[in-house]
Amino acid sequence: MTAPDSDLTIDPEALRRRAELALRTARDRTHALTTCVDEPDLTAQHSPLMSPLVWDLAHIGNQEEQWLLRAVGGRDALRPEIDSIYDAFEHPRAERPSLPLLAPAEARGYVHEVRGRVLDILERIELRGAPLIDAGFAFGMIAQHEQQHDETMLITHQLRRGPAALTAPPPPETADGAALPEEVLIPGGPFTMGTSTEPWALDNERPAHHRLVPAFHIDTTPVTNGAYERFIAEGGYGERRWWTAEGWAYVQEHGLAAPLFWRREGGQWLRRRFGVTEPVPPQEPVVHVSWYEADAYARWAGRRLPTEEEWEKAARHDPDSGRSRRYPWGDADPAPDQANLGQRHLRPAPAGSYPKGASPLGVRQLIGDVWEWTSSDFLPYPGFRAFPYREYSEVFFGPAHKVLRGGSFAVDEVVCRGTFRNWDLPVRRQIFSGFRTARDAS
């Protein structure tokens, strides 16, 4: 097993504190998501697409035990008998409610005990000298894993029926969104895609490599609800010509006519959002659409979805210096006035928001708000090496999964950077997915 290339120049104590903060931030969010509902809601399966919330809770602890207590710390197993129960590859989500899951109180006690021992290890270990611990990689990996499951649990909250259990303030208003140009020209030429230096980057983001990308235009902001309503009004769901064969078959089989959670009532579109029914806000980026829907809209608009390399070039390439940034705004970690992340607002911000988070060429909201579908299949980069296990990325490579980029309002900053790659099946709509469109410069 070979360690990923890392930037090992970070001060060891600063790195230790960063790892501790990432772990504590994730746990605070996990606690909030699992204490805002009662026990029946924790143990119920709210959709066959999702696990019971209590499964996610104990799975978080089990992964932390396996990687940080056993693999990194060399400690004896606390609960080896539950490893198979919380193995995501052994048990599909639909069958997890039938497993002998830890009850909520027992699951909370388990994750608490694991975390206490992990923090003890973190205080004592030298964060270099072995593949898993160089630059604190394993601690960053587990913080990201927990935040990814927090996003999954937030999806479960959206699918859950019943009164609202979560609240958050609305995102900030934007002053100049309506005056922005519809699209931005991204000049052609080479750029560096991926990373070989980001300490906590996961295997599918590696290694850094050069791509030659022809010039293209990309939407300044993600496609809005208002624009998507025009697609619906003009019969987009009823015209075969806009859809791939697989997409059309899926639309017909399931009777799709609008994004998930939308319904038509009294001459207007309403949506259900975390237990609240409200009019669909026209200026927000559309969310809960599948790849098939995003692709069909793009065709209807006379455009296309951007490729993954186009998306990353728009997000990271600085045309003045020629280098690739960590984020559209630069190399600094996200600030609240740069991106809608971390479940702060429970909804996307209006199109054109976060001017301080714009790319050098003026593309906005590339990070946060909604995951953005690209046209690309999920494939390895040249020189890819699975690390630290094949099941994180390698087993998903191929044409079955499409790449999403940029994160959403449900994503924490530790799991969101310009190189981060998400992927899912093209039918998926429960995820916080939207899109923007592109076209060739010629």
Q: What is the DSSP letter of 95?
A: G
Residues 6+ apart with CB under 8 A from 212: 188, 189, 190
Compute CA 150 distance to the chain's CA centroid, rounded to the nearest angstrom. Answer: 11
Strand partners, 405: 372
Whats the size of the chain, residue-wise? 442
| Residue set of the binding site for Fe cation | 59, 145, 149
Neighbours of 352 (CB within 10 A): 21
| Longest Cα–Cα distance in the chain | 65
Residues 6+ apart with CB under 8 A from 366: 311, 314, 315, 328, 357, 359, 372, 405, 406, 418
| Residue set of the binding site for gamma-L-glutamyl-L-cysteine | 93-96, 424, 428
| Residue set of the binding site | 59, 93-96, 145, 149, 424, 428
CA neighbor of 34 nearest in space, from 156, 162, 144: 156
Contact (CB, 8 A) for 416 and 334? yes
Neighbours of 113 (CB within 10 A): 15
Exposure b/e, 170-190, CB count within 10 A at least 16 = b: ebeebeebeebeebbebeeee
Contact (CB, 8 A) for 367 and 315? yes
Q: What is the DSSP string of 146-205?
A: HHHHHHHHHHHHHH--SS-----PPPPP-SSGGGS-SEEEE--EEEEES-SS-TT--GGG
Q: Phi first, then psi: what are they for 217, rounded to 5°?
A: -105, 145
The 3-state DSSP class for residue 428 equals: coil
CA distances to 133, 305, 435 from 218, rounded to whole Å, are 39, 9, 11
- Tokens 């590696």 correspond to what residue? 206
Cα(395)–Cα(378) distance, integer angstroms: 11
Burial class (CB in 10 A: 0-12, 13-18, 19+), 347: buried
CA neighbor of 222 nearest in space, from 277, 142, 297, 333: 297
Q: Phi first, then psi: what are they for 371, rounded to 5°?
A: -60, 140
Angle between helices 12-35 and 53-64 (to 10 degrees): 160
